[in-house]
Amino acid sequence: MLGKWIAGMASALLGLTACSTPNTTAVIEQTLTSHFANELQLVSTRKLQPSEPFARWQGRYGVYVRDRVTGDDFMVRWEKSEDAQALLGKLHAARAEQQAFGANQQAALATLKNAGLQADFFSLKAVSPLYGNMRWAIAYFADTSALQRNHEMWDAATWKALAHIARMTPQPSISIYPHTLKTAYASPLSKGYHGMIEFIEGEPQTFMQSQDSGGESLWTLDDQAIAAPHIVSAQQAALREACYAAIEAMRTENYFFKHHGLYMQPTRLVYEAYKIPAQLKASGLRQGHTSFALLDRIDGRMVLRGIVAPDALDSVDPYAVSGVYAYDYFLASDELIVRNLESGQRIAGN
């Protein structure tokens, strides 16, 4: 969540607008034509809006350029007061960085293809400027609506490849995007990797933002699916034991893990799409926040299995809860079953 917040703040602080003066554009285009012939293409020039505490960005332009040789985009920051020679130096340095970055992405892509991953996906493997370590993100596009028909989203060969990839080093984060977004992500999909900058739905997105935001994915794949350690207070021993026993049973009995070695976990967008919080509240729970959930398959039906632990009111213990509930939500029939783990009583569903 921290990565998503910081990436979002970075995007907001940049305050990019497609805005430049004719003189600015002329200097840039002349520099590109004179020194790079037809190898570089000006994509966009955007003025970076004044923003504190980033006063050093005031008056700067973001010059977005496409390298026709590699098909990748990159950006340089340029002051209007700087001359063409200063811009040229920045372009050379940024282009060299972009080419090295692209070569690394192609190597990572080759590894994924050798592992048997096919169809529509792109990869991003790079050192995170935020965390300082090598991170690997994979975006796989699939027919997510198949789940509503109680069908799996891909075949056995893809499951095998994804399971193998999930155990590579560094361990990749695998996100599942709906195939309806393929047009929006056409550029990285066409190459198979995310460049230093990609224009997604017309807006520039840095690799750091993509690496740490999770984008518009609906599901993530994981070979462990570890639950948060403080869903229930340690002072509530019986409730805590019931909570984590239920989670362990969900993990142990999970169809996808038993058959493919991977868990499928929902993102926030899944809860929103199926109105899970509202349905949980309608069943009588004071809060509808899911603490842990996995996609499962029971008797051929796709079901989202989750744990809800509403906060205890007026408690000095920040982890105290008023109860722990387990739910099964069947995607095809829009059926919700909720159980009180402490009493075993069903409070919603047939």
In whole angstroms, give the CA distance from residue 239 to residue 247.
12
Task: Look at residues 203, 221, 239 and tell me which one is the last residue of a structural domain.
Answer: 221
Divide the 350 residues of the chain into consecutive groups of 10 and give the mean pLDDT of each group. Answer: 38 42 76 91 84 58 93 91 90 96 98 96 93 93 98 97 97 96 96 95 89 86 94 95 97 98 97 96 92 97 97 89 96 97 86
Handedness of CA 308, 313, 316, 322 (dihedral sign): negative
Amino acid symbol at 33: T
Task: Look at residues 221, 247, 269 and tell me which one is the last residue of a structural domain.
Answer: 221
Residues 146 and 113 in one domain: yes
Residues 213 and 268 in one domain: no
Eight-state DSSP code of residue 46: E
Q: Are 126 and 207 in contact (CB under 8 A)?
A: yes
- Please state, as a whole number, how many other Cβ atoms lie within 10 Å of the Cβ of residue 169: 7
Instruction: Tell me what pLDDT residue 226 has.
Output: 93
Backbone φ and ψ for 129, nearest 5 degrees, come out as: -60, -25
Residues 193 and 247 in one domain: no
Residues 230 and 143 in one domain: no
Whole-model pTM: value is: 0.88
Residues 243 and 194 in one domain: no
Residues 342 and 233 in one domain: yes
Residues 189 and 229 in one domain: no
In whole angstroms, give the CA distance from residue 267 to residue 277.
13
Instruction: Tell me what pLDDT residue 52 has.
Output: 52
From residue 257, alpha-carbon distances to 77, 167, 265, 291 in Å are 47, 14, 11, 20
Instruction: Tell me what pLDDT residue 78 has.
Output: 87
In whole angstroms, give the CA distance from residue 193 to residue 198.
10
CA atoms within 13 A of residue 348's CA, in its CB half-sphere = 17
Task: Look at residues 198, 221, 244 and tell me which one is the last residue of a structural domain.
Answer: 221
- Helix/strand/coil for 285: coil
Residues 123 and 45 in one domain: yes
Instruction: Tell me what pLDDT residue 247 has.
Output: 97
Residues 60 and 134 in one domain: yes
- Please state, as a whole number, how many other Cβ atoms lie within 10 Å of the Cβ of residue 164: 14
Residues 10 and 150 in one domain: yes
Instruction: Tell me what pLDDT residue 5 has.
Output: 36
Burial profile 268-297: b = 16 or more Cβ within 10 angstroms, e = fewer: ebbbeebebbebbeebebeebebbbbbbbb
Domain coverage including residue 269: 224-348
Instruction: Tell me what pLDDT residue 17 has.
Output: 40
Residues 268 and 206 in one domain: no
Instruction: Tell me what pLDDT residue 74 has.
Output: 96
For the chain, the domain total comes to: 2
Instruction: Tell me what pLDDT residue 255 has.
Output: 98
